[in-house]
Structure 1
Amino acid sequence: MPQMGESIAEGTLSRWLKKVGDEVKRDEPIFEISTDKVDAEIPAPSSGVLAEILVTEGQTVPVQTVVARLETEKGAAVGGEGPRAPAAAAAPEKAAASAAMAAGASGLARGAGGPPAKQDRTAATTASHPSAAPRTAAPQPNGGNSLQDRLRTKSSPLVRKIAAEHGIELSAMQGSGIAGRVTKRDILEFIESGAVAQGTATRPSMHAPAGAEPHGPVPDAWPGDVVESMTQIRRLTSEHMVAARRSAAHVTSFFEIDLTRIARLRAKARAEFEAKTGQKLTYLPFIIKVVVDGLKLHPVLNAAVAGTNIIYRKQYNIGIAVALDWGLIVPVIKNADDLSITGLTRQLNDLAQRARTKRLQPQEVQGATFSITNPGVFGSLMGTPIIPLNTSAILGLGAIEKRPKVIAGPDGEDTIAIRTCAYFSLSFDHRIVDGSDADKFLAFVKQSLESFPDAGVA
């Protein structure tokens, strides 16, 4: 199981692309994984035959776990397919015979070796995290500073935040992650089980001084209903959206923006642009360019809340929501202020393409300072998008369409004209962003797009 980022301790093997006995080529995708950050296809470390599958679909295992055996020696025996607990001792290596499909810290490091220490991951995944119940932390001979203790308390920032909101002590929980590490799924299931109210007195939190919003009753399936488990990406999206909604004071403002000038610039430059770059010229690079300029003038919209402090980001990393057949992902254009319209177009198309083919790296979906979502491509006129965690705003783009508008004629008289328009919505965190700041930002975006210079298309 490759380590797809420094903060990722485990991954879920979501799908095998090959079966036992199949021949594979070096760097050919062989299985898919899902982590807290990204879905990805993992290539084979070398050419050979898939001899044995050790981790089944849907199983979550720590990074560096050997998930299969790949025989690189022709005529080698091929084993069976199915769940199997990793052996405790490393098997003797055959010279140039077997390549262990485990990656290093780079995410795709190739190497051979025996499986890790024995642990029954099957039981952990089939049970509903029974070990996630609170326990009394026994005194540790080393003061609770063992590797297991450090890993357990070093949960993700989101897990620690949820624990603080509900007054849960992470060190008193045994999670399903590596060395008992508490995952988001562990803590949410623990909260939904009601164990907090039964066994733990919640304490006030800066994140939720009035207490956490109670969960409603779980619905029952009726006769004829179809029940299916959420995919990994759907579970992660669900958890992130609930946490984001809970953490920020959401307010949304709307502006209608005339994009007629941008439409004419696109039409004029499209043929030459596509011939020169090989890229299609859309509205989005123009919008990103103007948004970045607006963020420089209104830095509180490129900020994050850290307790009672405000972090003003000096990087302009724009997250772009990409709808996939199996869920939603937000790749990030890093240092967007350094890119021209051509550079933004290339980055957009590249990230979107690799998102759809599951070839994004974890760092490419992290570090956004501001996000843009475009539901208008599906015909939506406007919406109220949820602000991603650790940012202060997100811009929603409505459908771009022609509308009759009253405008000033050549002599200053009112006249009706057909204009290309769209509604832009800005959801912002009212803890640090005032309505006047949000509206000034949108007004700047509107004015800049409606008067975009001819020389800006480059």
Structure 2
Amino acid sequence: MTDIVVPQLGESVTEATVGQWLKKAGESVSKDEVLVELETDKVSVEVAATADGTLSEIVAKEGDTVEIGAILGRLGSGNGAAKAAPAAKAEAAPAAKAEAPKSSGGSTVDVAVPAMGESVTEGTISEFLKKVGDSVSKDETIAEIETDKVALEVPATADGVITELLVSAGDTVNPGTVIARISAGASAGETVAKQARVTEGAPTTQTPAETGQSASGQEDRPVSPSVRRVASEGGVNPADIPGTGRDGRATKADAINYVNNAAKSASSSQPQQARAPRDIGPREERVKMTRLRQTIARRLKEAQDTAAMLTTFNDVDMSAVMDLRSKYKESFFEKHGVKLGFMGFFTKAIVSALKEIPAVNAEIDGTDIIYKNFYDIGMAVGTDKGLVVPVIRDCDELSLAGIERELGNLAKKARDGDLSIADMQGGTFTVTNGGVYGSLMSTPILNPPQSGVLGMHRIEQRPVAINGKVEIRPMMYLALSYDHRIVDGKEAVTFLVRVKEALEDPERLLLDV
């Protein structure tokens, strides 16, 4: 008999609530199979079986509060009968979760959801890039999964043919969930031939759209649920929609354009007197938010609900920094291989100010304040899928060139969708640059649990008084939003003034004054 106990839950976390048992007493389990989910005030934790056997007893019930080391249940020896459960589940799956006859070309290999990163316990199937009957190569991407932080690709685990899809686009999955099966070593020809033998002589009532074929009988490309929905509402065959997406697949925009054009053609072919108003397509549409967008919405609202947010403003004369860039940008690029931008100067100025005002680099944890003695600066980057905040580590130890190089690498990864969970964790302060989109002024929202975020804006020529004379200078508004629970107004204003002073007199950064 083996005890199932509460594992370590993370720094400063001493207890959890039993969220859900995924197995019942008496059921057989496999080693590393998730048995129960625990919820803390920070993350959800999965507790897995340490060996094959039978869940003989559940000690802690759902809703119970348990401490680290407490016994959740007991695991006894067993024969692994629970392994038959997935097969039963597959039989009850909807028709969309299709299964092709298994080929005799080799053994069946499961394709499971990989680990999604620290504290990420579930994701949503975005789309399958392969369908049942398709040949695949080992490590070829067969599905894409969206989490609340990044998009993941699920690779094939062997060469062969997709024989079964156990989930559909839009389904929620956990790490380790089997989403597909591959007949290792089989070929598409073998699978198709066998399927033909199975269905030979059987009548069919399926339409071309249901079978995934165009009107000409040609096999169609995979069709996403959103395209099928638009096509259904517009009364067209989704297989006939020309695609502009990856591998020629139709996108939702393709479907809407096709439906609208088809409606116009039908309308123009009617006699003038016979024309009547008709719905040429949905004027409104309901689209489920991506997990990333849901997380952005939730975290921004949490920041407003929990923090005492306040914003203070200042402006900065960018003349000195711009002159310095103009003077050294070519030699800087020749030596370091990266362009000399504004972010290096801003980051250095911010780090200098954070050292003087440590509360802006701190966070609240319950009734404690955690002061950070390191400077990991998050840089907000806008992408097609939403706002992400990759983090540049140990900015106090990096040179201007090092900061610019890291920022360039992270920005490229963000645009390409290659950011990992680790790239976005652990920031102590955030910078957001609305100026690249033309913003003159804004009040940025905190990135919890951080207590400060600096908003940069566009540079514009404005008249300012210099030594009693009016001069035209390149000016930028700066906005510091901060958590007034731990940062006083005097500290916030002083922080912003220090940033302004460092940028208007860049020599201060070199002399550390």
Aligned to 1:267: 326
Aligned to 2:54: none
Structure 1: gaps (5+ residues): 81-222, 409-413
8 Å CA contact retained: 2:123, 2:291: no
8 Å CA contact retained: 1:51, 1:78: no
8 Å CA contact retained: 1:385, 1:396: yes
> How far did residue 70 of structure 1 move?
4.1
When the two structures are aligned, how many residues end up with a matched partner?
Answer: 310
d(CA) in 1 for partners of 2:466, 2:372: 39
Aligned to 1:8: 120
Does 2:457 align with 1:398?
A: yes
Aligned to 1:125: none
* 1:253-278 per-position Cα deviation (integer Å, ceiling 9, x unaligned): 00101111111111122222223333
> What RMSD over aligned residues (CA atoms) do the two structures have, in Å?
2.5
* 1:65-94 per-position Cα deviation (integer Å, ceiling 9, x unaligned): 1222345525267879xxxxxxxxxxxxxx
For residue 234 of structure 1, give the secondary structure of its aligned residue in structure 2: helix
> How far did residue 446 of structure 1 move?
0.3
> How far did residue 335 of structure 1 move?
1.4
8 Å CA contact retained: 1:317, 1:334: yes
Aligned to 1:60: 172
- Among 296, 308, 321, the alignment partner of 2:355 is 296
> How far did residue 37 of structure 1 move?
3.0
Does 2:488 align with 1:429?
A: no
8 Å CA contact retained: 1:50, 1:78: no
Alignment of 1:271-420 (within 5 A): 271-408=330-467, 414-420=468-474
> How far did residue 444 of structure 1 move?
0.3
Kindly tell me: are residues 237 and 24 of structure 1, through their superposed partners in 2, closer, same or farther at Cα, counting changes over 3 Å?
same
- Among 145, 169, 174, the alignment partner of 1:33 is 145
Does 2:300 align with 1:241?
A: yes
Match for 1:304: what amino acid? E
8 Å CA contact retained: 2:122, 2:172: yes
8 Å CA contact retained: 2:349, 2:509: no
Greater alpha carbon shift after TM alignment, 323-332 vs 28-37: 28-37
- Among 493, 500, 508, the alignment partner of 1:446 is 500
8 Å CA contact retained: 2:122, 2:147: yes
Kindly tell me: are residues 26 and 358 of structure 1, through their superposed partners in 2, closer, same or farther at Cα, counting changes over 3 Å?
farther
Alignment of 1:27-176 (within 5 A): 27-45=139-157, 49-75=161-187
d(CA) in 1 for partners of 2:426, 2:126: 25
d(CA) in 2 for partners of 1:443, 1:402: 21
d(CA) in 1 for partners of 2:328, 2:376: 27
For residue 424 of structure 1, give the secondary structure of its aligned residue in structure 2: strand
* 1:379-414 per-position Cα deviation (integer Å, ceiling 9, x unaligned): 111111111111111111111222222212xxxxx3
Greater alpha carbon shift after TM alignment, 422-431 vs 272-281: 272-281
Is the radius of gyration larger for structure 1 or structure 2?
A: 2
Aligned to 2:315: 256
> How far did residue 303 of structure 1 move?
0.4
Greater alpha carbon shift after TM alignment, 339-348 vs 398-407: 398-407
Structure 2: gaps (5+ residues): 1-112, 193-281
Q: Which has the higher contact order (CA 8 A, sep 6+)?
A: 1
8 Å CA contact retained: 1:265, 1:454: no
Kindly tell me: are residues 378 and 387 of structure 1, through their superposed partners in 2, closer, same or farther at Cα, counting changes over 3 Å?
same
8 Å CA contact retained: 1:331, 1:351: yes
> How far did residue 347 of structure 1 move?
0.7
For residue 67 of structure 1, give the secondary structure of its aligned residue in structure 2: strand
Greater alpha carbon shift after TM alignment, 227-236 vs 431-440: 227-236
* 1:48-107 per-position Cα deviation (integer Å, ceiling 9, x unaligned): 554543332221111111222345525267879xxxxxxxxxxxxxxxxxxxxxxxxxxx
For residue 389 of structure 1, give the secondary structure of its aligned residue in structure 2: coil
d(CA) in 1 for partners of 2:487, 2:114: 40
* 1:147-178 per-position Cα deviation (integer Å, ceiling 9, x unaligned): xxxxxxxxxxxxxxxxxxxxxxxxxxxxxxxx
Match for 1:75: what amino acid? S
For residue 261 of structure 1, give the secondary structure of its aligned residue in structure 2: helix
TM-score by length of 2: 0.56
Kindly tell me: are residues 420 and 75 of structure 1, through their superposed partners in 2, closer, same or farther at Cα, counting changes over 3 Å?
same
> How far did residue 41 of structure 1 move?
3.6
Match for 2:451: what amino acid? S
> How far did residue 240 of structure 1 move?
1.2
8 Å CA contact retained: 2:502, 2:508: no
Match for 2:313: what amino acid? F
Q: Sequence identity, in percent?
A: 44
> How far did residue 247 of structure 1 move?
0.9
Kindly tell me: are residues 429 and 232 of structure 1, through their superposed partners in 2, closer, same or farther at Cα, counting changes over 3 Å?
same
Kindly tell me: are residues 304 and 22 of structure 1, through their superposed partners in 2, closer, same or farther at Cα, counting changes over 3 Å?
same
d(CA) in 2 for partners of 1:254, 1:296: 20
Kindly tell me: are residues 11 and 253 of structure 1, through their superposed partners in 2, closer, same or farther at Cα, counting changes over 3 Å?
same
Kindly tell me: are residues 338 and 23 of structure 1, through their superposed partners in 2, closer, same or farther at Cα, counting changes over 3 Å?
farther
d(CA) in 2 for partners of 1:43, 1:260: 51
